[in-house]
Structure 1
Amino acid sequence: MTTAGVIRVSAVVLRDATGAVLTVRKRGTSRFMLPGGKPETGETPAQTAVREVQEEVGLTLRVETLRPLGVLRAAAANEDGFEVEADVFEHALDAPVAVGAEIAELRWLDPDAPLPPDLAPLLRDRVLPLLQASPRP
């Protein structure tokens, strides 16, 4: 959903056993971000997160097992002049993931290592600092 320069989305932090965070790059873009996307009519943010993760990386999540991390805002990665406002969730990674839907590439990110320059602002400036400040579930 887009209103007055703000794009509403849901995003999900998925970590492997080492603590690495799954990032995705959508086709036709150059920035890596969390799996997620825009809501369909009538969806709650959690429902959007579950649907988008299934479509993008083939992982079936349940709304009741999502852990809300907050509503975060940053410059949009792929829409100049817009901001993205994201309901960000965390969920245990309990199955393999694979490229799906509009995803061109998957990449695991070590949040404690130097960050690559191609991360979306929301992930780089808002989500990763939040993850580093809070203990892993």
Structure 2
Amino acid sequence: MSRPPISIVAGVIRDDRGRLLTVRKQGTTAFMLPGGKRDPGEDDATALARELAEELGCVLVDSRPLGVFTAPAANEPDTQVEGAIYHATISGQVSAQAEIAELLWIDPALPPAVRLAPLLETQVLPRLF
């Protein structure tokens, strides 16, 4: 029996070389977009700003919707994740904070030699070209 989908908001953050910022949470192996679950009553922009501040120590300056996508959850068996994904412009230096164990900038055009979350790999990356 499948669980209800996990609803998240996440940001596509690119550097001046076009690389995409991914994060790996503590105790996990898959790299994913920074973001997370909304707190009760939060809209997407508020949740994304809060998550980026908590996880990366940066400030969300602007966001534009990329879309809402569904894929198998990276860390919860028999569960789907539904992600509202935004192109995000940030200010400040990023660093791994809170539950983030590692940051990795990847070239979206080249498959990295790391495990990517299915939402990122099958739904987001193909839409970045």
Q: Indicate the TM-score class for this superposition, using the shorter chain for normalisation.
A: over 0.9
One-letter identity of the residue aligned with 2:119: L
Q: Which has the higher strand share?
A: 2
Retained in 2: the 8 A contact 1:31–1:120? yes
Between the aligned residues of both structures, percent identity stands at 48
Q: CA deviation at 1:36?
A: 0.3
Q: What's the TM-score, normalizing by structure 2?
A: 0.93
One-letter identity of the residue aligned with 1:60: V
| SS of equivalent to 2:68 | strand
Q: CA deviation at 1:72?
A: 0.8
Q: 2:110 matched to 1:110?
A: no
Q: CA deviation at 1:96?
A: 1.5
Aligned match of 2:119:
122
Q: What's the TM-score, normalizing by structure 1?
A: 0.88
C-alpha distance in 1 between matches for 2:115 and 2:12 = 17
| SS of equivalent to 1:66 | strand
One-letter identity of the residue aligned with 2:99: E
| SS of equivalent to 1:122 | helix
Q: Tell me, which stretches of 5 or more residues in structure 1 are unaligned?
A: 133-137
Return closer, same or farther for 1:93/1:16 CA change in 2, 3 Å cut-off. farther
Can you list the C-alpha shifts for 1:1-28, whole angstroms capped at 9, x where unaligned? xxx5200000001000000000000001
Pick which of 38-47 and 108-117 moved more. Answer: 108-117
One-letter identity of the residue aligned with 2:127: L
Q: Tell me, which stretches of 5 or more residues in structure 2 are unaligned?
A: none
Moved over 6 A (4+): none
Retained in 2: the 8 A contact 1:99–1:106? yes
Q: CA deviation at 1:92?
A: 2.4
The alignment of Structure 1 onto Structure 2 pairs a total of residues equal to 128
The root-mean-square deviation of aligned C-alpha atoms, in Å, is: 1.5
C-alpha distance in 1 between matches for 2:44 and 2:109 = 28
| SS of equivalent to 1:22 | strand
Q: 2:36 matched to 1:70?
A: no
Q: CA deviation at 1:74?
A: 0.5
